[in-house]
Amino acid sequence: MLTLHCPYCGIDADETELAPGGEAHLRRFGPGSSDDDFESYLFARENPKGVHFERWRHAYGCGKWFHAARCTATLEVFGTYPAQTTEPPQDIRDAISAKRPGWTWRTFA
Amino acid sequence: MKKRYSAFAIAREAMRNHLGWERAWASPIPKAKYDAIIIGAGGHGLATAYYLGKNHGIRNVAILEKGWLGGGNTGRNTTIIRSNYLQDPSAAIYEKSRSLYETLSQDLNYNIMYSPRGVMMLAQTHHEVRGYQRTAYANALQGVKTEFISPRRVKELCPIMNIDGPRYPVLGALWQDRAGTARHDAVAWGYARACSDMGMDIIQQCEVTAIRREGGRVVGVDTTKGAIDCNKLGIVVAGHSGVLADMAGFRLPIESVALQALVSEPIKPCMDVVVMANTVHGYMSQSDKGEMVIGGGADGYNNYTQRGSFHHIEETVRALVETFPMIARLKMLRQWGGIVDMTGDRSPILSKTPVENVFINCGWGTGGFKAIPGSGWGFAELMATGHSPLTAEFGLERFREGRFVDESVAAGVAH
């Protein structure tokens, strides 16, 4: 079972306590944006076989949203971090680099 | 030309210790160039190749497979075939598929064991009753024979079901009597044999590592067995669609998640229909071997590992034990997962792509097996002629244009 550490309440939460929330760090494109940006924001999704960043909610715990860095090919969890950021923090990137040298995800590396 | 399978052939081989059976398909080394390459030798890929040859005369075709033939979702599903969809484009392609399944054994000269035993989708809330009545009316207009049946009829068709469940009593069901099941491996093997017979090359253990493009159009692929050139390329790889699209340089509205199924120990025949219960989320049928074949829910997060979360199995089995009390003490024999490619509107993508002469057939999500012949038929027409009435509504541009084929709302669950 997938276990994620909630960065708010500090609990190692089982998957049954958590609600998955899809791709992390989406930038919102609203009215007035180009068709390409709007379509990409609404529908296109990263779907990597490997390093991936996601949003999760500690639904049956503290109720807060947070981010997780995972590997979709092995289900390994690299780390979790709070939601109040638009990009993965350096310590998470370092943790991934230690295990997946040369990884990239969207514009992050 | 391969020797035909027949009762006479069985008798002939019985007389000579079965020494005369040929390999069903060849395993050639790849040529330098093909008119068309299909990536993915699962049901959809092989069906595409078969109808390219049969309907459109394109036979200089290679089908490349990373693993072994039919080893992905084609060999991992619960073999249910039905066409009781709400939206017109869905009903058209799934009904085409179901009708092709009816005569596929004769068409391929390969017994795919199509069993039109009937599929019922239980209505266990008043919302579902209204939803399925609406679907039954829609199906009547689409020319798909379904009916909404009473709880009493449900009990007659499936006596082992408890229709008076305390939490979710059965209030009726959407019944399609020409729906059913087929032998999933045989579908892949039958198409493979027919493709090989037409001179197509099925190349297993051959992973595509890059898609070569020149001036916005495809010129070939790099593989673990060397570079192969092609005029047209069809990507038919289900869960790995995102990986291949990334190689071709475009993004898809698709996320890949694990979907699980399991089978019980074999028991005596007790159930001759397929039952789907979408509110409590489980579905079950009995295989010819006597195993109860059980399908459940998909995980909610991206996953390429072909194994899912155990709590989904618990949920599914809990729901089915409520519905079928007699299975409570059955032992489960095997459990497995497949990687399904989910689109936002839960409808497939059969489409041209931003790269010229690259076509993609994906997004079948949790319900692709039933669509194999129809999908291959339509996708082959799209690849050969640039247009198919079966696939016209399933283009990639439907997301940008807001023309969803919204089966997720129609069904209320992934399906």
A32-65 tens-digit pLDDT: 999 999 999 999 999 999 999 999 999 999 999 9
Choose one of B343, B363, B389: the last residue of a domain: B343
CATH of the domain at B38: 3.50.50.60
What's the token pair of residue B323? 């519905």
Any chain A CB within 8 A of the CB of B264?
no
Choose one of B322, B343, B364: the last residue of a domain: B343
Residue B18 lies in a domain: no
Q: What is the pLDDT of residue B408?
A: 73
B242/A40 touch (CB, cutoff 8 Å), yes or no? no
Higher pLDDT, A95 or B279: A95
B377-382 average pLDDT score: 98
d(CA B246, CA B355): 12
Whether residues B327 and B285 share a domain: the answer is yes
* Banded model confidence at residue B414, pLDDT cuts 50, 70, 90: very low
Choose one of B343, B371, B393: the last residue of a domain: B343
Residue B9 lies in a domain: no
Whether residues B195 and B338 share a domain: the answer is no
* DSSP-derived secondary structure letter, A16: G
Whether residues B188 and B335 share a domain: the answer is no
Any chain A CB within 8 A of the CB of B399?
yes
Whether residues B267 and B236 share a domain: the answer is no
Whether residues B106 and B140 share a domain: the answer is no
Q: Which domains occur in chain A, in start order?
A: 3-99 (3.30.2270.10)
Q: What is the pLDDT of residue B409?
A: 58
Closest chain A residue to B314, measured at CA? A16
Question: What is the number of structural domains in chain B?
Answer: 2
Q: Please report residues of B whose CB lies closer than 8 A to that of A40.
A: 251
pTM of the model: 0.95
Going by C-alpha positions, the residue among B278, B393, B277, B414 that lies closest to residue B344 is B414
Residue B373 lies in a domain: yes
Tens of pLDDT, residues B255-311: 999 999 999 999 999 999 999 998 888 899 999 999 999 998 888 899 999 888 889
- Checking ipTM against 0.90, whether it exceeds it is yes
Which are the contacts of B359, defined by CB distance < 8 A and separation ≥ 6?
A: B232, B233, B234, B235, B350, B351, B352, B353, B379, B382, B383
Q: What is the pLDDT of residue B280?
A: 85
What's the token pair of residue B95? 């009904």
Residue B4 lies in a domain: no
Domain range for B213: 30-83+85-110+184-253+345-411
| B395-404 long-range Cβ contacts below 8 angstroms, 24+ apart | B395/B349, B395/B350, B395/B351, B395/B352, B396/B252, B396/B253, B396/B349, B396/B351, B396/B352, B396/B353, B396/B360, B397/B351, B398/B345, B399/A39, B399/A42, B399/A43, B399/B253, B399/B344, B400/A35, B400/A39, B400/A43, B404/B344, B404/B345, B404/B347
- Answer whether B106's CB lies under 8 Å from B171's CB: no
A20/B256 touch (CB, cutoff 8 Å), yes or no? no
Whether residues B333 and B314 share a domain: the answer is yes
Tens of pLDDT, residues B42-95: 999 999 999 999 999 999 999 999 999 999 999 999 999 999 999 999 999 999
Going by C-alpha positions, the residue among B115, B124, B114, B79 that lies closest to residue B294 is B79
Q: What is the pLDDT of residue B412?
A: 45
Tens of pLDDT, residues B129-187: 999 999 999 999 999 999 999 999 999 999 999 999 888 999 999 999 999 999 999 99
| pLDDT over threshold 50, residue B389 | yes
Whether residues B77 and B54 share a domain: the answer is yes
Q: What is the pLDDT of residue B383?
A: 98
| pLDDT over threshold 70, residue B241 | yes
Residue B371 lies in a domain: yes
- Rg of the Cα trace of chain A? 14
Interface A-B, measured as beta-carbon pairs within 8 A, has a size of 63
